[in-house]
Amino acid sequence: MMESTAENSFDRVTAFHEAGHAVIALALERPVSGVSVLPNRERLGVCKFDKGVQRPSDDWIEREILIALAGMAAEAQITGRYGVEGAAHDLRYVRKLAMQRVGERQLDKFVRRMLSKVENLLADTGNWRAVELIAAELVKLGTISGRAAKHFYTQAQAAADSD
């Protein structure tokens, strides 16, 4: 993917980070309401979610951990390293949820397992194409609607299925 040189282009790494959150959320059936790489005082970008319908069989803690780790994992796919500093907010959230699941003794092992799982989800052709499409749109526009994110996700899945 070529980096845009337009004056209004937004940070490519942040775009991949937020696109990673959005794609894994959509893959795990969590509705996305919007994605932005417009920085504010607290964050470089944000992926916002709608309230999803939770089924009793849902493992909501694991789903939330996977979504939270997806940004850092997607970012690592293009930079070759985990941007721990940029993902500090996400990682605090992951640790809080993981503590509810496994406790402190198993925390690091559990988080590594979840990171491996989300990396496998991102390695899926359709999911990675969706990350690329959403990130490209974020670099151009700075923000997209949840409907647009869903459209790119669906488009990427259909293209992968036809390969």
Q: What dihedral do alpha carbons 93, 84, 49, 161 form, nearest 10°? A: -130
* Average pLDDT along the chain: 89
pTM over 0.75: yes
* Residue 43 clears pLDDT 80, i.e. is over it: no
Reading across the β-sheet that carries 32-36, which strands appear in turn?
Answer: 46-49, 32-36, 143-145
Q: Which of 40-44, 64-68, 80-84, 89-93 has the lowest mean pLDDT?
A: 40-44
Q: pLDDT for 5-37, tens place per residue?
A: 444 567 999 999 999 999 999 999 999 999 999
Mean pLDDT over 80-108 rounds to 94
pLDDT for 40: 67
List, in order of start, the domains of the chain with CATH numbers. 12-162 (1.20.58.760)
Angle subtended at Cα 46 by Cα 125 and Cα 6, rounded to the nearest 5 degrees: 75
Q: Identify the residue whose tokens are 């070529």.
A: 2
* Residue 111 clears pLDDT 50, i.e. is over it: yes
Q: What dihedral do alpha carbons 87, 7, 142, 12 form, nearest 10°? A: -40
Mean pLDDT over 83-106 rounds to 93
